[in-house]
Structure 1
């Protein structure tokens, strides 16, 4: 009901107009019932031989007049309705704008990403991929409620973790904390037993391949976008493109891998952008791979092809796959379900289905959707 609160002042201001409008429409509806009766009366008089030229003219004038009145009445009603709709739209737009003016400063202050810098890091150049998270609780500011609460994870080298949950449950925040894009609480996240704050940012991010939800492409060739992280030979670029199931589509472009794309990849579909971003992460050959809901824009068959390709690639690498789609995470060694920033369920695919909780509900719903699409 809160969504309708902005409508209340508008309805109060224009209550009289609405009442008159309803009465006017009732009158128009009543008038339009008269012509059928007149036509019936004229037919009866014609059958009984009572119709005269004068009477015929009166009937015709009355019917035409009433028809015009109904048409004009409905036209005026529609114009009034359009005018009221425009007023309502402007009122709601102004109300929303004022709310945004009130909300924006506080909202962006709370979500602002602070500048992260190294503070006396240890000398380390590579990571094995053992990720440990102990009692992690994170909030954007001290006065705000936690975005993540009491998160505990032990992901050994070569294992794959699936993360799912409703929108706003903290999945992306968890991924960004692993990259130290936010200040990480001390003694909460460890790589190979070393606190994340003691690892040089350069080492951390060179050893992690990260694919975010929003795929960003540069004003460069497709080849340049895939190989952005370094000087890679064409063979490596093509290999990464094949793994992300984008090679064939790139070759279909007139200039192939030399095709120029806009800053946001305006010439590509959402699914193509995501697959270019995946290839960009894979070509780095990272020890740790984090995929943050980066298959959301691809169809089911393409997703299946990418996941099949990644199976051999991920062998020996630590990976975290964040996704709303159960099909993307069902083969993971462990799956956690986040709910309001907490781990609500955990286990492998079969164990979570047996529990019959949120995960099982999501799986059944998505399976039903998939079957309906196949039947269609």
Structure 2
């Protein structure tokens, strides 16, 4: 999911939207904003005080005056340090608070996306958006916009102070390189935007590749694909390296250029200032002009450039170019944050990816399910279901059988509202499921899948999914299902952490836990999707007993490869190539000698052969 980003060097509309997240923390924002203004004003005081110390006290031999102004300079330094601490803390607190809000909003959004969206989007890409991209957004506030504004304000204050306190010709000559700096900065901004976009794309690709291959490491090792997959990784990793090197290349040009321009400014100041001092050229400042205009006494001003003036002016140039140098890094940070925010906000704006749902609710469910002429395709023009129709009465057990790819699991996905069907009708107790809120619809079902997913958490939390269900109720249900015995053998019993995807217990044990999870919710409708495949005979017997227990008295839909497990079903639906080809009870379908009978005979022979 390589999102395209705006081609603008700086997207003002996007920036305004990012700033809307400041609203809950506007007091902190304006507090930090005020501090950065104060820091900008304080930055001009030390060079001026230094000039006064040299011209008025050192050259005049005034020790008391020198001591007093030295203490004043020290006090200014302490004040700057305190305000810098407050600003840094407030800006970072603001950034972390904002990304917390955005991350919660994004995760909530992701949980409501259609399953089809996840079919097409690599998990690693979504992880990049939800973790590293959002973390980068924090830098917009902690190291970006507020710091940049502070630096810009500092530059403006310094330039004004230079014209106010120092000879205008000296200032103009020293700053004659500013047009070159402006052109270079504009070029840098445009070049770096595209580079940062490439970097974020390659980070997402890298995360997606690593996540996928770590998850499928058993396949990689089983088929000796280590070297081949390493070669693929090298290609992706090299693209990521090249994208970063391109950004470094631009910085390698821009930063030395600023150093050169800074040196030229100092050289021009030293050259003209020294020449003016040697030749006693009259100095004229805006402050002098203002005093003359107001008719005030101007005798306090020096007529020519002094040593203190020249030293203070050089301090001003260094102080002026320091934020100019930092602006490159600040802009780097801001631009990275803007690129990341554009990607995150685009994901938040994916309205078409949200699951469509109705507004109605049903609270008392009998369990009647009906499909009428349902058509569905995951990909246009590649139908998976072709006019499927059937019904399940309350309390009945419907079994669905058929070859792989016949559309069995797709029926379940449509019934649960995971995918929208293109044509036909699916109803629950006579209400079209598309008219129901998804949370309400799914609250009436419990689903047990063949591939059981367990979180890296305790058995208790995996069963309850953190719902408030008493432990006594869980243990009682576990004994009925036949799960309690194996749980008691684990080191911490129901508090045992099964780790990621439940890898610390066997497939059969995971399957039994999924039955227990379904049983404790006491659903009116139960769905078992291939729940007895790929397990040993002992566990299959336990699961069969659990199936008999939890299907009793409720509507149940069972998808099974092993036909022996569904002989007692009230109705069997036989599917082939997206269509219902047979329907009836086990004995009726065997008597027909059709598709079901051939499936049953094939499995019976396989069992005899084994």
Q: Give TM-score scaled by structure 2 length.
A: 0.41
Structure 1 contact 221–260 (Cα < 8 Å) conserved: yes
Q: How far has the Cα of 1:229 moved from its partner?
A: 5.8
2-structure distance, mates of 1:188, 1:350: 30
Q: How far has the Cα of 1:201 moved from its partner?
A: 0.8
Aligned to 2:184: none
Instruction: Please say if 1:157 is aligned against 2:394.
Output: yes
Q: How far has the Cα of 1:162 moved from its partner?
A: 0.2
Structure 1 contact 165–171 (Cα < 8 Å) conserved: yes
Task: Specify which of 368, 378, 398 is matched with residue 130 of structure 1.
Answer: 368
2-structure distance, mates of 1:124, 1:324: 33
Aligned to 1:85: none
Deviations 1:13-57 (A, max 9, x none): xxxxxxxxxxxxxxxxxxxxxxxxxxxxxxxxxxxxxxxxxxxxx
* 265 and 309 in structure 1: CA distance in 2 versus 1, 3 angstrom threshold: closer
Aligned to 2:355: 116
Q: How far has the Cα of 1:354 moved from its partner?
A: 1.2
Greater length-normalized contact order (CA 8 Å, ≥ 6 residues apart): 1
Aligned to 2:186: none
Q: How far has the Cα of 1:188 moved from its partner?
A: 0.9
Deviations 1:348-370 (A, max 9, x none): 11011112223222222323333
Q: How does 1:266-281 map to 2 (within 5 A)?
A: 266-281=503-518
Instruction: Please say if 1:247 is aligned against 2:484.
Output: yes
* 348 and 247 in structure 1: CA distance in 2 versus 1, 3 angstrom threshold: same
Aligned to 1:107: none
1-structure distance, mates of 2:516, 2:586: 27
Q: How does 1:165-184 map to 2 (within 5 A)?
A: 165-184=402-421
* 342 and 282 in structure 1: CA distance in 2 versus 1, 3 angstrom threshold: same
Aligned to 2:555: 318
Q: How far has the Cα of 1:125 moved from its partner?
A: 2.6
Aligned to 2:544: 307
- Structure with the largest fraction of strand: 1
Moved more, 159-168 or 178-187: 178-187
1-structure distance, mates of 2:408, 2:450: 11
2-structure distance, mates of 1:133, 1:227: 31
Aligned to 2:62: none
Instruction: Please say if 1:140 is aligned against 2:385.
Output: no
Deviations 1:144-191 (A, max 9, x none): 221011111111110000011111111111101000000134651000
SS of the residue corresponding to residue 161 of structure 1 reads: strand
Instruction: Please say if 1:224 is aligned against 2:458.
Output: no
Q: Give TM-score scaled by structure 1 length.
A: 0.65
2-structure distance, mates of 1:350, 1:301: 26
Q: How far has the Cα of 1:312 moved from its partner?
A: 4.0
Q: How does 1:38-53 map to 2 (within 5 A)?
A: none
Q: How far has the Cα of 1:372 moved from its partner?
A: 4.2
Structure 2 contact 376–423 (Cα < 8 Å) conserved: no
Structure 1 contact 229–284 (Cα < 8 Å) conserved: no
2-structure distance, mates of 1:371, 1:241: 34
Deviations 1:113-163 (A, max 9, x none): 9531324x223234221101111111124x322101111111111000001
Q: How far has the Cα of 1:204 moved from its partner?
A: 0.9
Structure 1 contact 334–347 (Cα < 8 Å) conserved: yes
Aligned to 1:46: none
Aligned to 2:215: none
Q: What is the aligned length?
A: 264
Instruction: Please say if 1:330 is aligned against 2:567.
Output: yes
Query: Considering only CA atoms, is the larger Rg found in Structure 1 or Structure 2?
Result: 2
Unaligned runs of 5+ in 2: 1-223, 233-351
* 234 and 271 in structure 1: CA distance in 2 versus 1, 3 angstrom threshold: same
- Structure with the largest fraction of helix: 2
SS of the residue corresponding to residue 565 of structure 2 reads: helix
Structure 1 contact 335–349 (Cα < 8 Å) conserved: yes
1-structure distance, mates of 2:373, 2:476: 39
* 185 and 128 in structure 1: CA distance in 2 versus 1, 3 angstrom threshold: farther
SS of the residue corresponding to residue 558 of structure 2 reads: strand
Q: How far has the Cα of 1:260 moved from its partner?
A: 0.8
Unaligned runs of 5+ in 1: 1-88, 98-112
1-structure distance, mates of 2:481, 2:383: 35
2-structure distance, mates of 1:243, 1:323: 23
